[in-house]
Structure 1
Amino acid sequence: MVLNSVQLLENPSGALVIPELDAVMVQPCYFSLVIPTFNESRNIGAMLQRLVALLDEAYADRYEIIVVDDDSPDRTWEVALGAAEQLPRVRVIRRQTERGLATAVIRGWQAAGGEVIGVIDGDLQHPPEVLLQLLGEIDAGADFVIASRHVEGGGISEWGFVRRLLSRGAQLLGLVIAPTVVGRVSDPMSGYFMLRRRALAGVELNPKGYKISLEALGRGRIDRIAEVGYVFQERQAGESKVTARQYVDYIHHLLKLRSRGRVSRMRNQIPFPIGRFLRFGFVGLSGVVVDMAVLYLLHSAASPLGLAWGLTRSKIIASEVAILNNFCWNDRWTFKDLAGQQKSVGQWVKRFVKFNLICLLGLTLNVLILNLLFNLFGINAYVANLLAIVIVTFWNFWINLKLNWRVTSSK
């Protein structure tokens, strides 16, 4: 199928519902890729050239590219149309009455005829070459495949501490608010993914903000998920669109997905790594021994070895000693396969710092539970401490599994 002419398409309107393939108003194809843009005139031309060169060779006339521009002041949509004169697989939508990345992607999918629909940023921070690997996973049977910075082959080119902290903090918040959505993939903050049209067709979408992948994972009919590693590139031209408002929208979106009845039933629950959890549990038991022993030595007034310190201070010190014990064993045993991919001293230190921060968050919860059981319910201090440890163990494992011992840097 060859497009008869380069088209400036009308922006679809109405409810945010992807039509079934047999109801599309354009001739169907295999793959439709949407590029949402705003002020990307300096990047979009090179982006389209690279994409077309890749897809022409691999998929010939079985694909289309749809640029959805939010009426950029730098006239990105016009630059894209100019490039499309030489690239017949490219179409453009100029949105003049709507704004927002997530809705731009959905409008592009509504106008698309692909059996497989996908999205990629227009700023070249998502390397186009990874597309073929993503499509390969779809061809192999995946319903949804996402490019991840946190699996083998993935990483971040040049991010500062604050930016990494914000990204990890957002993922941690997502794991707390909507774990059955955010926990399905290693990199839920990625905006580079594709899925089978049937997974979303007929579902009314209601995104908030810019993380459209969360909307697809939370509301789509998705069974098999695959991930492909990619290295997030630094922007070469233009300015970042990330603002404080987008973080507020992200939280709002998570709460909407969390609300009762709004998240679609997961046909396959998040696979739980029983073997790894058991190893983590055994390590945790060794930490319990260390924790209880140190707590006894610091808090006990009855024993000649005890220092009779206050409970809270004794508990904080005991827990930190146990954290050090647990990290060393987890790094060498529980997560040995993941740690083996990041062997430098600096990477080891980063893992330890992240482990400590996660466990310190757990420690805060532990101290609150301990004091609640001891002071309010009168439970023996050591029994209360054991109960608190059991509860927090699940927290520590889940968060470490999703946020720590992940590939976060690459050459």
Structure 2
Amino acid sequence: MSQIYPNFPSHCQFSHLVPEPTGALIVPRQIVTPSPTDPSNIQLSLVVPTYCESENIQQTIAQLSQMLDRVLPDEYELIIVDDDSPDLTWKIALDLCCDYPQLRVMRRQQQRGLSTAVIRGWQVARGKILGVIDADLQHPPETVLNLIADINKGADLAVASRHVDNGGVSDWSLKRRFLSRGAQVLGLVILPGVLSRVSDPMSGYFLVRREAIAEQVLCPIGYKILIEILAQGKICWIAEVGYVFQERSEGASKVTWKQYFEYLQHLIRLRLRLWPVQRFLRFGVVGFSGVFVDLGMFYLFRHLGLGLTVSVILSGEMAIVNNFLWNDRWTFADLSHQQRSWAKGFKRFLKFNIICLAGLVLNATIVNILSRGLGMNEYLGKLIAIAIVTFWNFWVNLKLSWRVTEVDEEVRLNRR
């Protein structure tokens, strides 16, 4: 254990009260066990992050334990991760360990925040499947059975959603519905490729395979941990299960305007972190090589006696072919490798052509607007247009030409 968490005291052993990990937020691939001679048979580690949940914690533990004892007897653990609640939630949970031997409790005194609490819980977890559920009973405990079933079918991630069949909210006000949907739309604008993968990216109730997030550096802000998992995890197959979000029976909601601000911070941080800088630089190098191909072929065609317009068209197309081949084999090689057939390659080439031609139209439009409409120097306008079109060509090609939409069926079958 000291090799995986070097900041733990050497005398720390697995017990009901587990120490708080320190250092980077990285879930280990290796499942931590009490000792080499006592391997863990834990299949599911369900983390319950808490802060001032003394009124709910006993009922939550009782319901989850009763349900999981039926389907995973002796093969699950509940990990309460408490942010040192002034109402002593952690102590109340610890006092229940005699009645619930699968229960473990972490009292966090160094950090605060729901997302980091979940990851710290996963760092000490022993299960092959990791999960999170709220402690306030707003997440129906019985839904976890459907999530487990989908993971057993081969899903990397199983999400409880309010926005699919059998899902919904109970008695939310119009303001609360507006804020929830507004936050989701904002996320789709900033991170469309991440949040569009699930119907309810704001969900805090899900299971994920350990191997899908192991050894990934996680840096969440706030309380929407699922967004971090979608962005940073190696998630191929996602399943969604409908559930009805319940109103609190005890305690007060923790959601404030601070949480919405942290959510926005998280989205922006992920957007900057996920921008494919290395891929974009390769795309730029390939584009630069295309300039020389264009000029060289234009010179050749003119000396062969071809007309000006024909030479421009042919040389431009040769540059597009050059750029496509290099991008397909270098810039986007990892993506094109997943779709090797000639038909798919030709489809990528046609898309690349169309996007590049659209880029030429966009280039001319921008130059005209800046130089004729706004009176800008035409060479400066041209330079700005080239920069904008380069980003256009790269991003649209990444999202359309080299978009991988098919999950490898062999991988899916191997997980069954």
TM-score normalised according to structure 2 size: 0.62
Paired residues of 2:52 and 2:89 also in contact (CA < 8 A): yes
Aligned equivalent of 1:82: 95
Runs of 4+ in 1 over 6 A off after TM superposition: 262-265
Q: Secondary structure at the match of 1:209?
A: coil
CA distance in 1 between partners of 2:20 and 2:117 (Å)? 9
Q: Secondary structure at the match of 1:106?
A: helix
Give a deviation string over 1:306-337, Cα, whole Å, max 9, x none: xxxxxxxxxxxxxxxxxxxxxxxxxxxxxxxx
Aligned equivalent of 1:326: none
Q: Secondary structure at the match of 1:42?
A: coil
**Percent identity over paired residues:** 53
CA distance in 1 between partners of 2:71 and 2:243 (Å)? 20
In the TM superposition, what is the alpha-carbon distance from 1:85 to its structure 2 partner? Answer: 1.6
Candidates 138, 142, 160, aligned match of 1:129:
142
Aligned equivalent of 2:337: none
Distance 1:171 1:261, change over 3 A: closer
Aligned equivalent of 2:20: 11
In the TM superposition, what is the alpha-carbon distance from 1:229 to its structure 2 partner? Answer: 0.1
Candidates 186, 203, 214, aligned match of 1:201:
214
Aligned equivalent of 1:186: 199
Answering whether residue 50 of structure 2 is matched by residue 37 of structure 1, we say: yes
Answering whether residue 211 of structure 2 is matched by residue 217 of structure 1, we say: no
Candidates 223, 232, 238, aligned match of 2:251:
238
Distance 1:246 1:201, change over 3 A: same
In the TM superposition, what is the alpha-carbon distance from 1:7 to its structure 2 partner? Answer: 1.5
Q: Secondary structure at the match of 1:259?
A: helix
Aligned equivalent of 2:30: 21
Task: Give the number of the structure whose alpha-carbon radius of gyration is greater.
Answer: 2
Taking the TM superposition and a 5 Å limit, the aligned residue runs for 1:96-135 are: 96-135=109-148
Paired residues of 1:148 and 1:227 also in contact (CA < 8 A): yes
Answering whether residue 59 of structure 2 is matched by residue 50 of structure 1, we say: no
- What letter is aligned with 1:239? A
CA distance in 2 between partners of 1:122 and 1:131 (Å)? 14
CA distance in 2 between partners of 1:166 and 1:116 (Å)? 32
CA distance in 2 between partners of 1:154 and 1:200 (Å)? 27
- What letter is aligned with 1:200? I
Give a deviation string over 1:229-269, Cα, whole Å, max 9, x none: 0000000000000011111110110011111546899xxxx
- What letter is aligned with 1:58? V
The aligned length equals 269
In the TM superposition, what is the alpha-carbon distance from 1:21 to its structure 2 partner? Answer: 2.7
CA distance in 1 between partners of 2:43 and 2:276 (Å)? 28
Q: Secondary structure at the match of 1:234?
A: coil
In the TM superposition, what is the alpha-carbon distance from 1:192 to its structure 2 partner? Answer: 0.2
Paired residues of 1:31 and 1:63 also in contact (CA < 8 A): yes
- What letter is aligned with 1:43? N
- What letter is aligned with 1:128? P
Q: Secondary structure at the match of 1:169?
A: helix
Aligned equivalent of 1:257: 270
Paired residues of 1:218 and 1:264 also in contact (CA < 8 A): no
CA distance in 2 between partners of 1:5 and 1:119 (Å)? 21
Distance 1:203 1:24, change over 3 A: farther
- What letter is aligned with 2:102? R
Distance 1:262 1:203, change over 3 A: farther
In the TM superposition, what is the alpha-carbon distance from 1:84 to its structure 2 partner? Answer: 1.8
Paired residues of 1:70 and 1:94 also in contact (CA < 8 A): yes
List runs of 5+ in structure 2 lacking aligned partners. Answer: 1-12, 279-365, 375-416
Distance 1:228 1:181, change over 3 A: same
CA distance in 2 between partners of 1:261 and 1:97 (Å)? 29
CA distance in 2 between partners of 1:211 and 1:157 (Å)? 21
- What letter is aligned with 1:256? R
Give a deviation string over 1:92-117, Cα, whole Å, max 9, x none: 00001110000000000001011000
Distance 1:264 1:222, change over 3 A: farther
CA distance in 2 between partners of 1:148 and 1:25 (Å)? 35
List runs of 5+ in structure 1 lacking aligned partners. Answer: 266-368, 378-411
Answering whether residue 161 of structure 2 is matched by residue 152 of structure 1, we say: no
Aligned equivalent of 1:162: 175
Distance 1:150 1:82, change over 3 A: same
CA distance in 1 between partners of 2:31 and 2:202 (Å)? 32
Distance 1:198 1:11, change over 3 A: same
Distance 1:30 1:18, change over 3 A: same
In the TM superposition, what is the alpha-carbon distance from 1:31 to its structure 2 partner? Answer: 0.5
Give a deviation string over 1:116-169, Cα, whole Å, max 9, x none: 000000000000000000000000110001000000000101100000000000
Paired residues of 1:221 and 1:264 also in contact (CA < 8 A): no
In the TM superposition, what is the alpha-carbon distance from 1:23 to its structure 2 partner? Answer: 5.3
CA distance in 1 between partners of 2:63 and 2:102 (Å)? 13
Distance 1:151 1:249, change over 3 A: same
- What letter is aligned with 2:135? G
CA distance in 2 between partners of 1:96 and 1:260 (Å)? 29
CA distance in 1 between partners of 2:207 and 2:260 (Å)? 23
In the TM superposition, what is the alpha-carbon distance from 1:77 to its structure 2 partner? Answer: 0.3
Q: Secondary structure at the match of 1:206?
A: coil
CA distance in 1 between partners of 2:27 and 2:250 (Å)? 32
Aligned equivalent of 2:341: none
Give a deviation string over 1:336-389, Cα, whole Å, max 9, x none: xxxxxxxxxxxxxxxxxxxxxxxxxxxxxxxxx9xx89x959xxxxxxxxxxxx
CA-based RMSD of the aligned residues comes to 2.4
Q: Secondary structure at the match of 2:241?
A: strand
